[in-house]
Structure 1
């Protein structure tokens, strides 16, 4: 996809057409900028470094004995649940940081550069996949330290990791849309958490669905987060891929198909 920008040179209006190749290069450059921001302000990684460790320890030792009898038996249940919850929650940072950059006028300065207008947005979304990867690796590493041994093997663990990262990237388009249209970063975070809490906690992440009230079981069973968690459990614990994997991929594709155009349109209008 290419875009057209208007520039004034010596009083004349010239059209500058950005090719697809240049758009990709500009987006990668902006993604690198996002990584440099993380390098200079490493506290941005606190959520993806401490949260997987704290949540894994806390939920495992609180619920492990009550639900599965002991901690080792609970690890195959909780690790995929913590993984999905942590990485999806991390994706809301995309919208918050996007809103902060727009409020600071960073994107206004980007408009004066000879780059594709969509590059800052695309670069921010690409850079955040590094955050998802860090959270994924730390969650599995913490599980391994505690005794989790996925029977699916390393290749299925890697496949499950790619699935979670891809689904979280697709969900980040929703929060990016909020980041573009919202008035402040705090409102983006508030709206995002309000949407995420029911989806992540009212799921099959921590307890068996059959132990819940009947009316709640219906919501948990149709919850897309539950399907993603089930897909990760099947891949890591059994080395199999079933309908939950297909549902998760279709759901992620639908989110991108809906929110990517909406976000891009809103972003181009605002910038």
Structure 2
């Protein structure tokens, strides 16, 4: 005989299952998988790194990385959303899956590859020294015993540690590159070390800064890549697919001014 109480409970369970299924079908805020992979990509950056990323007067994130990622997104049919989270949080939030990837002029290094995966390179860079215009400093060796300002946990920071030693108290590390340049202007540091495109962009935008840039053959070439969580092969392959397409059609060279294999 049919039990009314049992029937009622079965109807409740069925209704609850339908609700759960409906909730599970909704898109997440990032890493939303569509028919051809990810339909939306949440990208973390540190937007004081012009010309790669900066904020315009409207509060929008603009720059080379934004243009390259948007071009890739168009090729792989994915919407791209940038979030200005800060330099170190980019790494933390990619690890925690709060972001799908990091795009912030990130140099591909062996140390970083132990924790993250990187796309193929999309930009070639090198480091430069920044000093006051009237400074007698002309070589890397001349700042070996002087205070050096850098952006924390960047290749510029690593170069300073290589020059002076990991525990040197004369290395002044800051959250972003403009602060490091300002410390040279203030006289707190004798020099700063930063990526060439960023240094030259800063000097162009601040012609009265009283700073100059110095090249050094002792700095090795660096290559930027987009960074994803270690093991996220699906997203990595998708990004590399889009990147290769904009290399082949000339869009990458148009954006960066470089031709890179």
Tell me the TM-score normalised to structure 1 length.
0.26
Identify the structure with the greater strand proportion.
2
Tell me the TM-score normalised to structure 2 length.
0.26
Higher Rg of the two aligned structures: 2
